[in-house]
């Protein structure tokens, strides 16, 4: 019965969180992403002009999955593709002896430029893994039956190292009770329903909740347009900036706290988390941590929300469920 814990190291402005993973005999820093289901990494097969500065997986320790290939495009239009090997993966002491490793042979500039990240470790449901002709399992699905309990937990923090655990819930990481809600896996995400919102301007009226996904691979909190608009209506100097493609506010502002009702419990995102980051180095205008989810089709509870709670991704029962507790 395996259990393990690995650090989640924040990148600049908590844009993403990276964790050390041993693949074959390479240690790489991967972005654990509950919003996708591919484990891919830069490799010795990646063109040098794309992989400069990144840690590389050397497939010589693996076994090629003949005829298998992968190609993923994320919501932000970043993309990667390549071929597939089976190799040993260790995360915080939890070992998958034969995990599908998606070695990149091509990546878009967003990944090339993010030199701290050597790839992604998807933790959504394996139904949306992009390997063809036969999708493969995520790391969590591969090790699930060897874990003491088929769960993983997410403890992200603002500007500090947090952690992911596999196989157990760490009672020292939260206070009060855990509130569980059912998960709808139809779209391959950890999808749930939020009951309502409050806080900010005209109190971003409660009762108007909606469908949302818990997504560690997204930096911000994307909410219904009316909720985002209502929230910023109470923030002096905030406005929707078409050129920036979202709400901005003065970096000097301390926005109000934002409350989310889930499973009948209220979770609070401190206002300081919503003054996200300067538009560019030295700017006195900052990009908001809450943005509208227009065009996405559901809300995205990314890192701005997740770093305010302890989150339990539980697939140990008859159907998956999400748990949230105060940090």
Ligand X SMILES: N#Cc1c(N)n[nH]c1N1CCCC1
Interacting residues with ligand X (CB under 6 A)? 33, 35-36, 74-76, 78, 120, 215, 217-218
User: Would residue 297 be called left, alpha or beta, if left means φ above 0 and alpha means ψ between -120 and 50 degrees?
Assistant: left
**Residue 14's closest CA among 292, 312, 220, 288?**
220
Please say if 215 is a catalytic residue. Answer: yes
**Residue 288's closest CA among 219, 193, 224, 192?**
219
Which of 31, 87, 114, 215 is an active site residue? 215
Q: Tell the smallest beta-carbon distance from residue 194 to ligand X (Å).
A: 17
Q: Exposed, middle or buried: residue 172 (CB in 10 Å: 0-12, 13-18, 19+)?
A: exposed
Indicate the residue whose CB is closest to ligand X: 217
C-beta closer to ligand X: residue 189 or 232: 189
C-beta closer to ligand X: residue 75 or 270: 75
Q: Tell the smallest beta-carbon distance from residue 300 to ligand X (Å).
A: 6
Q: What is the three-class DSSP state of 153?
A: strand
**Would you say 215 and 33 are in contact if contact means Cβ atoms under 8 Å apart?**
yes
C-beta closer to ligand X: residue 78 or 81: 78
Please say if 315 is a catalytic residue. Answer: no
Q: Tell the smallest beta-carbon distance from residue 215 to ligand X (Å).
A: 5
C-beta closer to ligand X: residue 31 or 238: 31
The residue to which tokens 């509130």 are assigned = 179
20-24 long-range contacts (CB < 8 A, ≥24 apart) are 21/89, 21/90, 21/91, 21/121, 22/88, 22/89, 22/90, 22/91, 23/57, 23/87, 23/88, 23/89, 23/99, 23/101, 24/57, 24/58, 24/59, 24/60, 24/61, 24/62, 24/87, 24/88, 24/101
Q: Tell the smallest beta-carbon distance from residue 264 to ligand X (Å).
A: 27
Q: Tell the smallest beta-carbon distance from residue 92 to ligand X (Å).
A: 21
d(CA 274, CA 161): 19
C-beta closer to ligand X: residue 74 or 152: 74
Query: Catalytic residue positions?
Result: 33, 215
């Amino acid at each position: 019965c395996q259990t393990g814990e690995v650090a989640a190291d924040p990148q600049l402005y908590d844009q993403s969180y990276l964790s050390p993973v041993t693949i074959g005999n390479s240690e790489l820093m991967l972005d654990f992403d509950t919003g996708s289901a591919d484990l891919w990494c830069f490799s010795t097969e990646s063109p040098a002009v794309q992989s400069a500065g990144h840690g590389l997986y050397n497939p010589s320790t693996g076994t090629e999955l003949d005829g298998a290939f992968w190609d993923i495009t994320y919501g932000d239009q970043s993309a990667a593709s390549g071929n597939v090997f089976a190799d040993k993966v260790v995360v915080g002491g939890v070992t998958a002896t034969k995990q599908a490793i998606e070695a990149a042979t091509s990546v878009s500039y967003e990944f090339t430029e993010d030199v701290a990240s050597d790839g992604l470790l998807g933790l959504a449901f394996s139904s949306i893994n992009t390997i063809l002709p036969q999708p493969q399992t995520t790391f969590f699905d591969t090790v699930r039956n060897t874990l003491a309990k088929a769960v993983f937990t997410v403890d992200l923090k603002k500007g500090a190292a947090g952690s992911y655990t596999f196989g157990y819930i760490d009672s020292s990481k939260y206070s009060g009770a855990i509130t569980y809600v059912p998960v709808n896996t139809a779209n391959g995400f950890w999808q749930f329903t939020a009951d309502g919102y409050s806080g900010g301007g005209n109190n971003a009226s409660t009762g108007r909740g909606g469908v949302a996904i818990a997504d560690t691979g997204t930096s911000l909190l994307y909410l219904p347009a009316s909720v985002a608009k209502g929230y910023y209506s109470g923030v002096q100097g905030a406005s929707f900036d078409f050129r920036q493609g979202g709400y901005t506010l003065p970096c000097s502002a301390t926005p109000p706290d934002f409350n989310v009702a889930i499973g009948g419990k209220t979770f609070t995102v401190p206002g300081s988390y919503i003054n996200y980051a300067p538009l560019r180095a030295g700017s006195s205008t900052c990009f908001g941590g809450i943005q509208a989810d227009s065009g996405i089709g559901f809300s995205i509870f990314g890192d701005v929300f997740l770093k305010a709670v302890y989150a339990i991704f539980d697939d140990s029962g008859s159907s998956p469920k999400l748990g949230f507790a105060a940090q």
